[in-house]
Amino acid sequence: MGTVKEIACYGTRNGFSITGPLRNWYNQLRARYTGCTHVLGNLEITQLERAAVPNIDLSFLATIEVVTGYVIIVNVEADVIPFTNLRHILADDKYNMGGTDYALLVLLSDVRDGLQMPKIKEISGNVMFYLWSSCYPQSIVWDSITKGTTNYSNVKGLECDDCHPSCLDTDGQRRCWGPGKDLCQKANRMKCAWLCRNGSCFEKGILGCCHPDCLGCYDDWINTECEVWLTPEADTKMAYIKYMCILIFIVLLNVFSGVTSTRIKACYGTRNGFSITGPLRNWYNQLRTRYTGCTHVLGNLEITQLERAAVSNIDLSFLATIEVVTGYVLIVNVEADVIPFTNLRHILADDKYNMDGTDYALLVLLSDVRDGLQMPKIKGISGNVMFNLWASCYPQSVVWDSITEGTIYYSDLQGLECNDCHPSCLDTEGQRRCWGPGKDLCQKA
């Protein structure tokens, strides 16, 4: 990935506030981000006023390539904000203002030569410019790089140099991030196939998809050269070939199952493990937004840290549309009446969750879900399954060997007084086996 050595640094979550003198804050920012290529978290550049910090120089931002959270720029006075190597704002965490979540938020700032992002490929969320004095941002085709809306409010125009003549777009307009031919916007209007994870592709169709752990790539679908690898172990031919096989498998699976493409809605999973950022209510809302209407989770499905004390009336009905998960499923510290995977058919477990040296396709821990994990249509789980400290009815009535390609582990299951399986749920051995109460929740082993 380029010639710059990869150096990760940690972002912040201060919002608009800072502590201490502005000069100290500026020095902290410079020390934190000098040489950094990957910001793990949020990038907050705030409260930099010339009256307090003369000769503000933000050139230390020029090495940053990826920000995993949001970017906010608030009350900044500088000649330029040089994000000249920034390619992706992943926005795993977003900044909420006025009830709207933002991936990039620019407020109350005076930056004559602008926010220079000539290499930006994707901003995974909404963008807002408010009370912003700068040249060039309104020349940008934001739709080609954002997965959200772009809002301008009270943007103050300045007398600016024109974009360089070489910055002509296909529609005949000059589009740029600043003066000079090296600051042209290269708008990418290619629409990737719905199966392309992270929305990254080098050409149309599923064979044009980048590797699933890749953000942006160059052509040759097997020897794909990634711009950004999300995981270090992903950079192998076999990993990519395996992923393409999964994509083709999903297409064939739906063809033979009679599922038409109009029913398919892909969404991207997560890889947070047990951890979350921000208040539990916000996390619950993020899960609901991410998976509502989703049929195919490209990646891992992690439902974690949902406690009734913090999130009253937990309703997980948005999970009921999911049919395929390409990674693992992790359920940790969840308190709910039911987890309704009522249309889930396959957990492919292309990625598995490792705990204490064992890889799992389905891992359920420390949870209280009375009416259980309801998966009446499940056909296959490609790996080991673990239930540990799980208060629920029904899982021990299920014949797991008929659906898993691994071992089923139970540990410290807490029994409840449960309704019996419906009488129609008798299997060939004369045992009632079900995923919950009701004849529509029988297990068909």
Distances in Å between the Cα of 379 and the Cα atoms of 34, 42, 198, 241 are 51, 40, 27, 24
Q: What is the pLDDT of residue 215?
A: 64
Q: How far apart are CA 367 and CA 338, in angstroms?
A: 11
Same domain, yes or no: 270 and 244: no
Same domain, yes or no: 14 and 88: yes
Domain region containing 372: 265-441
CATH of the domain at 89: 3.80.20.20
Same domain, yes or no: 138 and 56: yes
Q: What is the pLDDT of residue 301?
A: 95
The total number of structural domains that make up the chain: 3
Same domain, yes or no: 419 and 343: yes
Residues 146-184 have pLDDT tens digits of 888 888 776 655 567 788 899 988 778 888 988 888 999
Tell me if the pTM is above 0.85: no
Phi-psi region of 180 (alpha: psi -120 to 50; beta: other; left: phi over 0): left
Residues 69-125 have pLDDT tens digits of 999 999 888 888 999 999 889 888 899 998 899 999 988 787 777 789 998 888 888
247 confidence band (pLDDT: 50, 70, 90): low
Place of tokens 């297409």: 251
Q: What is the pLDDT of residue 376?
A: 92
Same domain, yes or no: 24 and 128: yes
Same domain, yes or no: 294 and 231: no
218 confidence band (pLDDT: 50, 70, 90): low
- Asked which of 215-229, 260-274, 371-385, 396-410 is least confident by mean pLDDT, the reply is 215-229
Same domain, yes or no: 337 and 416: yes
Q: What is the pLDDT of residue 230?
A: 57
Same domain, yes or no: 58 and 146: yes
Q: Is the model's pLDDT at 340 over the cut of 80? A: yes
Same domain, yes or no: 132 and 203: no
Is residue 187 assigned to a domain? no
- The mean pLDDT value for 112-141 works out to 82
Between 137 and 54, whose confidence is greater?
Answer: 54
Q: What is the mean pLDDT of the chain?
A: 81
Same domain, yes or no: 76 and 139: yes
Same domain, yes or no: 300 and 421: yes
